[in-house]
């Protein structure tokens, strides 16, 4: 479904569209379940503040790696088999039509295996269940924040703060200027600056393949 154009879009109107799609609900379900379980356990410790702080610091780098390595994956042949994930295919479709709303979100088919995977990590890879639940709760917050920010950037909502304007501009440059730069979505000038993909837009030529990745 292509996104309907509007002269202005309020956050309330944007939210009505956002919650029509399955991935926000799936991520929120994990977030709420993990938060309720964590609160019921109690026993808060310093690590419950340390884990979210580390995750918040690392998240721009994580976004960058996923975007470059997984979403911009170039299909490869291995004998008679083509290696090309659903995420990569859907992301190419997203670049071809950045206003197609379903393509903005993480595919629900991917979340069917990804969410159980991260739940298993949270419950098995940490020294205590409480710490694992803190990890899952904050991961849910980061996930829903990513989906909301990405959706809002591609909607007709106009940035009203300097911070969101910078994020909005950063991702728009990736889609409409050159797909080889500006890979972070929820931040601007963080991992891109560190990893050399945050050039001056005036020094970068417009790419003819921004809407047709790998063409």
Pairing of strands 76-78, 81-83: antiparallel
What is the structure's pLDDT at 183?
98
d(CA 101, CA 151): 8
Whether 40 contacts 164, CB under 8 Å: no
Average the pLDDT over 56-75 and give the result: 98
Report the pLDDT averaged over residues 73-79: 93
Q: Do 176 and 158 contact (CB within 8 A), yes or no?
A: no
Those residues with Cβ within 8 angstroms of residue 137's Cβ, 6 or more apart along the chain or in another chain: 31, 34, 35, 38
pLDDT at 98 > cutoff 80: yes
In this prediction, residue 41 carries a pLDDT of 97
pLDDT for residue 1 is more than 90: no
Rg (CA), the chain: 18
Q: Reduced to 3 states, what is the DSSP secondary structure of residue 106? A: coil
Residues 180 and 172: their CA atoms lie apart, in Å, by 12
Report d(CA 149, CA 168) in Å as an integer.
Answer: 9
Given pLDDT bands bounded at 50, 70 and 90, which one contains residue 8? confident
Looking at residue 215, what is its pLDDT?
82
Residue 105 to residue 91: CA distance in whole angstroms? 10
Over the chain, what is the mean pLDDT? Answer: 95
Bigger pLDDT: 6 vs 197: 197
Nearest to 188 by CA among 215, 156, 155, 161: 161
pLDDT above 60 for 4: no
Give pLDDT tens digits for 131-178.
999 999 999 999 999 999 999 999 999 999 999 999 999 999 999 999
Question: What is the 8-class DSSP label of residue 177?
Answer: T
pLDDT at residue number 6: 46
The answer to whether 186 and 63 are in contact (CB under 8 A) is yes
Percent of the chain with pLDDT over 70: 97
């Amino acid at each position: 479904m292509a996104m309907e154009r509007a002269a202005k879009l309020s956050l309330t109107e944007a939210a009505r569209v956002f919650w029509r799609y399955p991935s926000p609900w799936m991520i929120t379900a994990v977030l709420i379940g993990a938060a309720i379980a964590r609160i019921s356990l109690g026993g808060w410790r310093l690590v419950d503040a340390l884990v979210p702080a580390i995750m918040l610091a690392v998240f721009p780098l994580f976004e960058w790696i996923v975007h470059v390595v997984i979403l911009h994956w170039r299909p490869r042949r291995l004998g008679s088999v083509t290696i090309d994930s659903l995420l990569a295919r859907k992301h190419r479709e997203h670049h071809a039509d950045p206003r197609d709303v379903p393509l903005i979100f993480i595919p629900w088919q991917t979340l069917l295996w990804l969410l159980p995977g991260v739940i298993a990590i949270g419950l098995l890879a940490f020294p205590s269940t409480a710490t694992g639940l803190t990890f899952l709760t904050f991961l849910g917050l980061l996930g829903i924040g990513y989906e909301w920010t990405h959706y809002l950037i591609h909607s007709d909502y106009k940035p009203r703060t300097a911070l969101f304007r910078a994020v909005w501009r950063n991702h728009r440059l990736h889609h409409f200027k050159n797909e080889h730069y500006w890979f972070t979505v929820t931040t601007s000038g963080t991992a891109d600056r560190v990893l050399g993909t945050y050039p001056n837009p005036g020094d970068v030529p417009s790419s003819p393949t921004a809407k047709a990745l790998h063409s």
